[in-house]
Chains A and B, each alone.
Chain A
Amino acid sequence: MVSPIVQLAVSTAIFSAPLVLGGLGALASERSGVINIGIEGKMLFAAWAAAFGGLVSGNPVVGLVCAILAATVVSQAHWALTQLFGIDHVISGMGLNAVAAGATSLLSKTLLAPYAGAKAAALPLPFFWVAAVLAALGAAFVLHRTRGGLHLLAVGHDPDKARQAGLRPVAVRFKALLFTGLLAGLAGALLISNARGFTDNMTSGRGYIALAALILGGWRPWPTFAACLLFGFADALQLQFQGTPLWGASIPVEAWQCLPYVATVVALAAKWGGTKAPAGLGRP
C-alpha cells in the first residue's frame, strides 16, 4: 500500500509534466511575440506521431524523434503562417488546431488501425519529468543569460526597435518556434508514455491549460512552472478524492475536474499574472 501523500505527489508529477513542457514551449514562442494558441494542435500531432513511431518501430527513441519532428513541422508551419503570410496569430493557431485534430483522428483510423490493441513503445515517465525540470532551468538560463535569449526578448518586447538595432524578428522567431516544437514534441510523447496508445483528441485541452499557466506565470519560466504544478496538483486531488464524500455530501467527479479551470478564471479576475504580457505579442 502506497501512502496517499506519495500517490498524490506521483500523480501531480504525471499531470504537471505535459503542462510544464507545453507551457515552456509556448513561452519560447510568446516571448518572441508569436501568440501560441496552437500549442494544443502541436502537442496532439506530436502524440499521434509518438504513437505511430512507437508502434511501427517498437523503439521508444524512434517514437520520441517522430513526436519532435511532427511538432516541429506544425510549429514551423505556424511560423510561416504568421511571419511570412502575416495571418492573425490566434486565427492561424485555431486553424492549425482544427487541422491537427482532424488529421490525427483520421490517420489514427487508417494508419494505426492495424496496431489496434498493441502498446506503443515509449520512454518511461521519469525521463519526461527530468526533461520538464531541465526545460525550466534551460528556459530561465537561455532567456536571461545568453545572447540568443536576449535577442528573443528584445524582438518580443518591441519588434520595431529590435529591427532598428539590426535584429531580424522573422529569423529570431524561426529559432524560437523550433524550441516550441521541441518541447511540444516532448509533451506529446509523454502523453503516449502514459497512455501507450493514441485516442482522438487525447490532449483534451492541456495545451490551453498550459497557455493559461503561462499567463498566470506572467510569461516567466519559474512562475509558469509553478502554475503548471498547481494545475497538475488540482488534477491529482481530483483523482484522489473521486467518489469520496465531503461533509456527508457526495461530490461529482466533474466538480473536482472543474478546479483548475475555476482557479484560472478566478486568478485572471483577481488580476494575478496577465499584466506583464510581452509588448510585441501578435505584432509583425
Chain B
Amino acid sequence: MNARLGWLVLAGAGLVWAVVASTGTPVPDALREMFTGAFGTPAGWRETFKESTPLLVLGASVFWALKAGLFNIGADGQYVVGGLAAAVVGLRVPGPAGVLTGTLAGVGAGAAWAFLPGWIKAYRGGHEVITTIMMNNIGRLMATALAAGVLKAPGQQNAETPLLPDATTLPNLVHNGAFRLSWAFPIGLLVVVGMAFYFGRTVGGFEASATGANPRASRFAGIDVRTATLRAMLASGAVAGLAGALQVFAVKHQFNADFSPGYGFDALGVALLAAGQAWIVIPSALLFGALARGTSALSILGVPKGLNGVLLGIVVLVFAAVRYRKEVAARG
C-alpha cells in the first residue's frame, strides 16, 4: 500500500508540474512566488487570513455534518442564503443591533436551507449529496434574482444590494499598516472551539459521531439516528449561514451575485483534511487560504487562477488515500 501511495504522490506532483510548466513559468519560480505571495509581506498575510476566514467557518460547517456521516455539499448554498438574509436585515436595522440581528438571520437562513436535505436524508432516504447540490442551485438562482431585482441598489448596473452603513459592520480586530485582521476570524475560531467541545464532551455530540461511525450499531444502541442526522444537518447549515453573515458584515458590506467563488467546495476539502479532529479545521483552513492567496499572487507571473483547483483537488485526493480508505478486499 505504501508503495502505491508513493505513486499517487508522484503522479500528483507530476500533474502540478506539467500544469505549471504549460503556462511557461519555471516551476521553482512559481513555488517561490506562491510562498512569498501568501506569507512574504503584511499584505500577503492579510489576504491569506481574508481567504482563510470563510473557509474556516465553512470548514467547521462541513465538518459538523461529516462527523455525523453526511456530505454537506450544500454549505455553499447555505452560505449564500445566510449572506443574503444578513444583508437584508443589516440594511433595515441600523448599528450594532443590525449586525447582531443580521447574524442571527443568517444563521437561521442557513439552517432553514439545510432542513430539507436533512429531513429527506433522515426520513426519506434520499441522498444528501444530490439534494444539497440541488438546494445550492436553487439558493444561488434565487439570491441572484433578488439581488438583481427587488434588493438591487438604486442606480446600480450589477446585481448587488446597497452597501451597509459603517455603523452596521464588524470592525477590524487588528489594523497595523498593510496588515488587517477582522473580528470574523476569532469568531470562526470560537465556532471550532465550541464544536470540539460539542463532539468531545456532550451527549448530542457523541450521538452524532456514533451515527456517523456506524448508523446500524447506533440504532441498536438506542440512539435516535434520524433525529441525530437531522440535527447535524441543521447545525451544519446554521454554521454555514453564520459564515455568510460574517462575510457580509466583515468583508463585503453588501450581498452581490458572485458572493461565493465556490467556497463550499473548498470547505469540503478543509473538513476532509481535518479527518475527524475538530481542531485540525484551523490549520487546514489556513493551508487552503494560503493556497488560494498564493495562486492569485502567481497571476503576476502569468499563471491563471485555475491552478488553485488543481492543487486543492490533489491535496484532497492524496490525503484521502491516507485517511479515507475502505478496505480493498481480496485482490481481484
Give the size range of B's interface with the partner.
35 or more
Are B326 and A268 touching (Cβ within 8 A)?
A: no
By beta carbon, the residue of chain A nearest B149 is A252
Which residue of B309, B321, B330 contacts A103 across the interface (Cβ within 8 Å)?
B309
Q: Is A110 positioned at the interface, with any CB of B under 8 Å from its CB?
A: yes
Q: Is the beta-carbon distance between A268 and B120 smaller than 8 angstroms? A: yes
Could you say which of A86-94, A125-133, A138-146 contacts chain B?
A86-94
- Which segment of A3-11, A60-68, A204-212, A222-230 sits at the interface? A204-212
Q: B142 within 8 Å of A by Cβ?
A: yes
Complex CA distance for A134 and B129, rounded to whole angstroms: 29
| Contact present for B325 and A98 (CB under 8 Å) | no
Nearest chain B CB to A194 CB, angstrom units: 20
Residues on the A chain within 8 Å of B265, using CB: 94, 97-98
Asked if A84 and B328 sit within 8 Å, CB to CB, the answer is yes
**Are the C-beta atoms of A88 and B145 separated by less than 8 Å?**
no
- Interface of B, helix, strand, loop or mixed by DSSP: helix
Q: In the assembled complex, which residues on chain B have CB atoms less than 8 Å from the CB atom of A271?
A: 124-126
Q: Does any Cβ of A come within 8 Å of B201's Cβ?
A: no
Most buried by A among B73, B304, B327: B304
Residues of B within 8 A of A106 (CB): 19, 22-23, 303-307, 310
Interface residues on A, range: 35 or more
Q: Which single residue of chain A is at the shortest CB-CB distance from B308? A: A102
A241 shortest CB reach to chain B, Å: 15
A99 interfacial contact with B, CB 8 Å: yes
User: B73 — which chain A residues lie within 8 A by C-beta?
Assistant: 94
Cross-interface CB contact of A102 among B5, B138, B310, B327, cutoff 8 Å: B310
Q: Is B130 an interface residue (CB 8 A)?
A: yes
User: Given A91-B317, A265-B134, 9 other A-B contacts at CB below 8 A?
Assistant: A86-B326, A87-B324, A92-B320, A94-B265, A101-B309, A106-B306, A109-B306, A265-B131, A284-B329
Q: Report 23 cross-chain contacts, Cβ distance below 8 Å, ordered by A residue.
A: A81-B317, A88-B320, A94-B316, A97-B265, A98-B310, A99-B313, A99-B317, A101-B309, A102-B306, A105-B304, A105-B306, A105-B309, A106-B304, A110-B304, A168-B332, A208-B133, A215-B127, A258-B142, A268-B126, A269-B124, A274-B126, A274-B127, A284-B329
